[in-house]
Amino acid sequence: MIKNLIYTSVVATGLILSTVSGANEKILEKNDPSTIKDCHEGINRAVFAINKGLDNVIFEPVARAYRVLPNPVRSGVSNSLENLSSVVTIPNNLLQGEFKKAGINTGRFAINTTLGILGFIDVAEKIGFEEYQKEDYGQSLAVNGVGPGCYLVLPVLGPSTLRDTGGSLINLIGGDAWYNVTVKNDTQHFEDGDYVASRLAAGIDFRAKNIESFDNLEKNAVDFYASVKSLYLQDRQQKILNSNGIIEAMDDSDWDDIEN
């Protein structure tokens, strides 16, 4: 009888692992950067050129000025922004069936928001909580079988796909608790500007972390537009699969710091 139980357990485990492996292979195949079409390349390149001009004039100079701040301040800002992103990550943990991660991230958020002074200090990490991984609605759609659609370049926001753009829009119809309490609802303690400021800060923080990476990419790329597109799509593929790999010379900060 014990042998039968062991045999049954082994077979069941094998079936579960093969199902998960098969699902991951399908997700990997569907989000393969080489298969994602650039349906509107002409428009995308034009928007990319405009974004590049804005970056040269505004975003990169601001990011360089931001890097003058003491490292503890920049680290604290990054921690606060990461903590704030938990309000999007937690519901997406649930949508992807990651109930344990949802519990862990809820605990992280509660501890860092209180003991960590609104997330400025990552107290949860110091006391042994698992490493934080961001999730978003674009990733949840992908995990549940929605394909990426065409590659897009959005004004100011930059690289995206049709699916990821739709995922970002979910934040504006109730999927982002921070957006709800600042912009969507009339609350006494927060204003619309608080949300805008947090998004701008996230974009500047992301840009500051990757100044050298983008400079090297532009310097060495035959086609800077194509290189950025490849970089973004590879990064999204890894995020969807919850891979911890760093793409090329890129800091592992999430592109969605800018989009959400």
The per-residue pLDDT for range 47-74, each reduced to its tens digit, is 999 999 999 999 999 999 999 999 999 9
127 touches 91 (CB < 8 A): no
For residue 166, the surrounding DSSP H or E stretch is helix 162-170
Instruction: Specify the range with the lowest mean pLDDT, choosing from 65-74, 114-123, 191-200, 240-249.
Output: 240-249
* 3-class DSSP assignment, residue 161: strand
- Tens of pLDDT along 177-222? 999 999 988 787 899 999 999 999 999 999 999 999 999 999 999 9
153 forms beta bridges with: 159
- Tens of pLDDT along 32-44? 998 999 999 999 9
For residue 161, the tally of other CB atoms under 10 A from its CB is: 22
* 3-class DSSP assignment, residue 243: coil
- Give φ, ψ of 207 to 5 degrees: -65, -40
Our CA angle for 232, 253, 177, nearest 5°, is 100
Residue 202 CA to residue 193 CA, distance in Å, equals 14
Residue 181 CA to residue 215 CA, distance in Å, equals 37
236 touches 168 (CB < 8 A): no
How large is the average pLDDT for residues 2-31?
Answer: 53
How large is the average pLDDT for residues 244-258?
Answer: 51
The answer, yes or no, to whether residue 236 has pLDDT greater than 60, is yes
Comparing CA positions, the residue from 236, 206, 36 lying closest to residue 139 is 236
For residue 107, the tally of other CB atoms under 10 A from its CB is: 13
- Give φ, ψ of 147 to 5 degrees: -75, 165
Taking the complete model, does pTM exceed 0.85, yes or no? no
Length of the chain: 260
- Tens of pLDDT along 135-184? 999 999 999 999 999 999 999 999 999 999 999 999 999 999 999 999 98
The answer, yes or no, to whether residue 15 has pLDDT greater than 90, is no
Would you kindly state where each structural domain of the chain is located, as residue ranges?
37-259
